[in-house]
Chain A
Amino acid sequence: MMDHNHYRSAVLADPHASDAELRAHLESCAECRAFTEQLLRFESRLERALRVKIPATAHVLPFERKAAAAAQGPWRWPAMAASVLLGLVVAGGVWLTLPQRSLAADVVAHMAGEPDAWKRTEVPVPDPALNAVLQQSKVRLKPGAGVVSYASSCDFRGHKVPHLVVQTPSGPVTVMVLVHEAVRTSMRFDEQGYRGTIVPVPGHGSIAVLMRDSESTGGDISRIAAQVDDAIVWTR
């Protein structure tokens, strides 16, 4: 039989540990429940404290510079000629297209426009409203996927996309179903107070899953994204 000391030592080493013995003790002991709740609040602050802001000067990978340097050398003159040509093409075509930002940056920028979506609530979006949003992208959610507290059909890169907020044990998580945005591999990002991932869905574009740093309780975003991916059923 586990005692208080043993339980508290175990959760101090890993506040998210939850084997059967620990769970049984937690259910039977109010004092240890209070201890755990206090510890989890501290843990949330600890994770935020560790996620220091990364300076903007540290964003270029060293081998990108090496690759650029390698383009000079024996190919320097042809490269310069090509760059002049490229410059002409770009200058000539500049009015045809806006500058391309990264997909992650656009997803984060979209969040700024809908701050109300992040409310913590247990009130689900009514099924007809949720289904109307999801049907546009030919998807539905499996039963038990979690409380969807926000559902909107949003304009994103020229398409209507479902923007959902799902309440999870790790806090509110935003999901954007990006049918028109194919990505080759998973991309994690951490920008402007949001951390998330964009995962490829072969044949169906991609899914962006992100959380606010300020509301994260330490959930692993890749694991949450995998759960979201698993809860989505594609109907086309």
Chain B
Amino acid sequence: MNDEVGGKQRRARFQALCQSLRPDLLRFAFWLSRDRALAEDVVQESMLRAWKAQDALLDEKAAKPWLLTIIRREYARTFERKRLPTVDVDELVAKEEPMLAAAEEQHIVELRAALMKLPDEYREPLVLQVLMGFSTAEIALEMGLSGPAVLTRLHRARRQLRAACGEDTSLDPQE
């Protein structure tokens, strides 16, 4: 009886945890895939996997990186399963226009379009750092990179974005 009550409470806690992290997980999946529908599928499937494997999560504070890892793997699996076709970035931007344009200011819309065009290897660490609050060491661990490699990618990501958005880059460092 106690086990049953404990199990219910544990499941309720896990559900609340997933619910609170869900918006950021969806945003992460969206920037990973640059496709809203695919992002929703990936997160749904990842949540089911997480639900089945919730006993593996020993510390709730580690839930965010744990769920992110599941999402990254699920996204990679989707790629393998579906052999997603290569698409033109401008087409992607046009397709996701309603989501990207849901901002009050034009410069945010432009920045989103520039983010869509940023190469995956730069966009992903940037999203992990800025949106998910990951440290350089955590990004390195998640992406299987060295710390200096992560810093180089973050540096290049911001350089490219700033240039694409017409920012003054005259003070930018030489590479």
Q: Does A49 contact B (CB under 8 A)?
A: yes
Q: Does B158 contact A (CB under 8 A)?
A: yes
Residues of A contacting B161 in the complex (Cβ-Cβ under 8 angstroms)? 42, 46
Q: Which of A47, A52, A64 contacts B102 (CB 8 A)?
A: A52
Residues of A contacting B127 in the complex (Cβ-Cβ under 8 angstroms)? 50
CB distance from A14 to the nearest CB of B (A): 7
Nearest residue in A to B127 (C-beta to C-beta)? A50
Query: B15, A64: Cβ atoms under 8 Å?
Result: yes
Proximity string of chain A (124-160) to chain B, C-beta cutoff 8 Å, 1 when within and 0 when not: 0000000000000000000000000000000000000
Q: Does A76 contact B (CB under 8 A)?
A: no
Query: A8, B129: Cβ atoms under 8 Å?
Result: no
Q: Does A186 contact B (CB under 8 A)?
A: yes
Residues of A contacting B129 in the complex (Cβ-Cβ under 8 angstroms)? 14
Residues of B contacting A189 in the complex (Cβ-Cβ under 8 angstroms)? 20
**Chain A, interface SS category:** helix
Q: Which of B107, B130, B136, B171 contacts A50 (CB 8 A)?
A: B130
Number of A-B contacts (CB under 8 A): 121
Q: Which candidate, B23-31, B75-83, B85-93, is the interface stretch facing chain A?
A: B23-31
Q: Which of A55, A61, A62 contacts B36 (CB 8 A)?
A: A55
A63 to B54, CA, bound (A): 12
Please give the number of chain A residues whose Cβ is less than 8 angstroms from any Cβ of chain B in the complex: 46
Q: Does A185 contact B (CB under 8 A)?
A: yes
Residues of B contacting A47 in the complex (Cβ-Cβ under 8 angstroms)? 130-131
Q: Which of B43, B115, B167 contacts A49 (CB 8 A)?
A: B115
Contact residues, A1-59 vs B (CB, 8 A): 4-6, 8-10, 12-15, 31, 34-35, 38-39, 42-43, 45-55, 57-59
Query: B20, A54: Cβ atoms under 8 Å?
Result: no
Proximity string of chain B (113-144) to chain A, C-beta cutoff 8 Å, 1 when within and 0 when not: 00100000000001101110100100000000
Give 29 pairs: A residue, B residue, CB < 8 Å, sorted on A.
A4-B173, A5-B173, A8-B171, A12-B173, A13-B154, A14-B136, A43-B130, A46-B111, A46-B130, A46-B158, A47-B131, A50-B115, A50-B127, A50-B130, A50-B131, A52-B100, A54-B23, A54-B26, A59-B22, A61-B18, A61-B22, A62-B47, A62-B51, A185-B16, A185-B17, A188-B21, A190-B23, A214-B104, A220-B133
- Which chain A residues have a beta carbon within 8 Å of chain B's beta carbons? 4-6, 8-10, 12-15, 31, 34-35, 38-39, 42-43, 45-55, 57-59, 61-64, 66, 184-190, 214, 218, 220
- Which chain B residues have a beta carbon within 8 Å of chain A's beta carbons? 13, 15-24, 26-27, 30-31, 36, 40, 43-45, 47-48, 51, 60, 99-100, 102-104, 107-108, 111-112, 115, 126-127, 129-131, 133, 136, 150-152, 154-155, 158-159, 161-162, 165, 167-168, 171-174
